[in-house]
């Protein structure tokens, strides 16, 4: 890996002993990855995401190098975004990175940032190529910079690929790569790569946990909703005053149908309490609550999803509750005392006129019988009797009739009372459903935090690493962890 023109492809060609990768003065030269490996090596399962179409493969039959697969990558710093993309796609599959630089360009910003970010995931070898044009001061400066990046004693090879006659450290580079390919080193490299990835994963998990918000804030959602609901419910109740009157009127007009005839009572009521205005106020209330929850650091989206169905359901809840309560009220108007008195009066309304008619008839009969026995020709019942008995019958009917009228609570008032009770019940049900949604959110939140903590603790568990000797080559190619 390295900047364009530093001589990466030239190095691979030298390793191979033949021109397997294109080199040149054109910048950048390589636009593809060149793989170089033993002919017995089959790469059966390349990860799917690898762009194998941009791979150029060359094989050799040198058994001494059969455990190594070399990759010559395109540059990382030119304007060719495709090249950079290729490098990034291959990087996770690479154990040993050979970072190639030239004397003029040993510090290129993009590759350097990559080195800092990827440091712990690979073993690093450094090659200062074009050494035929370099000097010791540049080498020292490069070394110093690597020290700042965390390599206390970096392994740097000075090579010169154009002028083979010149003595350089190419053979040492080759030997180093071969020694790193020994199995215990590979194992060590893989372990430290795994640990680096676990550390990175742990950081992601911790960032994710922060994003989820604190547990006590999730617990506070319910009281946050209650303070919002107080305002919204009050506003809604005020707004319902007018439609509730209209609905009561409607019920008064259709009371007989609604209560007496169950078939018509299931027909939808024309007048609606939960109109567009109420729906807009309720949605405003929910939105304000979600916003406030977001300000507490709880992600808004899950709450939004959890409460979404309620936005459409609220009208239905209200319609059902008010309809039911109004019908119940109309079916059983007044309190139990009123209902008892009404029942008595209804009986009286029949019994009293019947009794007075019965009494008058009895008087007529006995009067007629007696007058016929006495043989008196005179009229046997006077005008007085006629007036009195008519009055009695009329009064015995009118009295319970008027009392009944007076006592019977007006249907509109009854409906109104029922509607008000339904309204309270409806609002309580909406509140309860929001609370249930928030309980679900709290549970999910708790579960997710728990899961993140558990995963993070898996990342902490370290596999026992084989000891790396203090001044060994392996120690030098791994980024020191104290950085
Ligand atoms: N003086 C000198 N020139 C070299 C050396 N190595 C390579 N070059 C020249 O540098 C130029 C670029 O070499 P490449 O191997 O194509 O460089 P690269 O890093 O593969 O470049 P990209 O494929 O563009 O990323 C070529 O003209 C090489 O001849 C060296 O050691 N000394
Ligand atoms: Mg190249």
- Residue 304 belongs to what domain range? 216-454
pLDDT reported for residue 309: 95
Do 232 and 100 share a structural domain? no
Q: What is the Cα–Cα distance from 204 to 119, expressed in whole angstroms? A: 17
Residue 51 has what pLDDT?
Answer: 78
pLDDT above 50 for 266 = no
Residue 256 has pLDDT above 90, yes or no: no
Residue 115: exposure state from Cβ atoms within 10 A (0-12, 13-18, ≥19): buried
Cβ contact 33:73 at 8 Å: yes
* End-of-domain residue from the set 124, 158, 181: 181
- The answer to whether residue 480 sits within a structural domain is no
Same domain, 143 and 264: no
Q: Are residues 33 and 163 in the same domain?
A: yes
In a domain, 259, yes or no: yes
Give me the pLDDT at residue 224, please.
Answer: 96
| Closest C-alpha among 132, 103, 82 to residue 5 | 103
Would the pLDDT of 426 be above 90? yes
DSSP for 270-317?
SS-SS-HHHHHHHHHHHHHHHHHHHHTT--HHHHHHHHHHHHHHHHHH
Does residue 202 fall inside a structural domain?
no
Rounded Cα distance, 224 and 219, in Å: 10
Q: Nearest Cα to 249, choosing from 273, 277, 222?
A: 273
Pick 258 or 475 by higher pLDDT: 475
pTM here is: 0.61
The CATH number given to whatever domain includes residue 110 is 3.40.50.300
Q: Is 365 inside any structural domain?
A: yes
- Does 160 share its domain with 16? yes
Give pLDDT tens digits for 229-252: 999 999 999 999 988 888 888 877
Task: List, chain by chain if needed, residues with CB within 6 Å of any ligand 1 atom.
Answer: 4-10, 23-25, 27-30, 74-75, 129-130, 132-133, 160-162
Residue 166 pLDDT class (50, 70, 90 cuts): confident
Kindly list the strands in the beta sheet with 96-101, ordered across the sheet, starting from the edge strand earlier in the chain. Answer: 96-101, 123-128, 156-158
Give me ligand 2 centre to Cα 165, in Å. Answer: 22
Q: Looking at residues 467-479, what average pLDDT do you find?
A: 76
Q: Is residue 52 part of a domain?
A: yes
Average pLDDT in the chain = 85
Query: Are 290 and 393 found together in one domain?
Result: yes
pLDDT, residue 465, reads: 65
Spacing, Cα 26 to ligand 1 middle (Å): 10
Residue 448 CA to ligand 1 centre (angstroms): 52
Nearest ligand 1 atom, CA 100: 19
For the segment 68-97, the average pLDDT, to the nearest whole number, is 87
90 Cα–ligand 1 center, Å: 21
At residue 432, the pLDDT reads: 97
Q: pLDDT band at 482, cuts 50/70/90?
A: very low
> Is 211 part of any domain?
no
Alpha-carbon distances, residue 350 vs 172, 353, 357, 401 (angstroms)? 123, 6, 11, 10
């Amino acid at each position: 890996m390295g900047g364009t023109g530093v001589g990466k492809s030239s190095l691979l060609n030298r390793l191979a002993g033949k021109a397997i990768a294109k080199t040149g003065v054109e910048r950048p030269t390589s636009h593809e990855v060149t793989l170089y490996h033993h002919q017995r090596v089959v790469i059966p399962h390349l990860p799917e995401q690898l762009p194998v179409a941009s791979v150029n493969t060359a094989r050799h039959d040198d058994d001494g190098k059969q455990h190594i697969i070399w990759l010559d990558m395109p540059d990382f710093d030119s304007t060719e975004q495709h090249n950079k993309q290729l490098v990034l796609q291959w990087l996770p599959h690479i154990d040993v990175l050979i970072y190639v630089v030239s004397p003029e360009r040993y510090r290129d910003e993009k590759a350097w940032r990559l080195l800092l970010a990827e440091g712990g995931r690979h073993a690093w070898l450094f090659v200062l190529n074009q050494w035929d044009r370099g000097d010791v001061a540049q080498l020292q400066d490069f070394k110093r910079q690597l020290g700042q990046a965390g390599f206390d004693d970096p392994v740097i090879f000075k090579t010169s690929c154009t002028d083979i006659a010149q003595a350089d450290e190419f053979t040492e580079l080759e030997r180093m790569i071969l020694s790193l390919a020994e199995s215990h080193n590979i194992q060590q490299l893989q372990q430290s790569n795994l640990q680096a990835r676990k550390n990175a994963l742990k950081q992601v998990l911790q960032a994710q946990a922060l994003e989820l918000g604190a547990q006590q804030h999730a617990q506070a959602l319910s009281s946050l909703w209650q303070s919002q609901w107080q305002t919204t419910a009050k506003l809604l109740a005020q707004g319902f005053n007018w439609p509730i009157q209209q609905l009561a009127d409607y019920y008064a007009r259709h009371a007989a149908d609604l209560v007496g005839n169950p078939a018509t009572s299931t027909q939808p009521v024309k007048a609606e309490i939960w109109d567009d205005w109420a729906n807009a106020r309720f949605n405003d209330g929910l939105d304000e609550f979600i916003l406030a929850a977001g300000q507490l650091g709880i992600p808004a989206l899950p709450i939004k999803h959890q409460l979404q169905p309620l936005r459409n359901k609220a009208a239905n809840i209200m319609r059902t509750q008010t309809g039911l309560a109004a019908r119940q009220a109309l079916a059983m108007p007044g309190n139990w005392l009123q209902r008892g008195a009404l029942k008595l009066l209804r009986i009286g309304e029949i019994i009293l006129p019947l009794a007075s008619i019965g009494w008058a008839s009895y008087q007529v009969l006995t009067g007629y019988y007696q007058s016929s026995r006495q043989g008196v020709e005179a009229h046997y019942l006077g005008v007085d009797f006629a007036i009195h008995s008519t009055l009695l019958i009329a009064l015995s009917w009118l009295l319970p009739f008027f009392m009944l009228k007076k006592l019977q609570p007006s249907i509109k008032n009854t409906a109104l009372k029922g509607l008000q009770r339904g309204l309270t019940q409806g609002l309580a049900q909406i509140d309860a459903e929001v609370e249930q949604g928030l309980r679900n959110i709290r549970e999910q939140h708790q579960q997710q935090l728990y899961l993140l903590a558990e995963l993070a603790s898996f990342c902490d568990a370290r596999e026992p690493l084989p000891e790396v000797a203090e001044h060994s080559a392996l120690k030098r190619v791994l980024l020191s962890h104290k950085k």
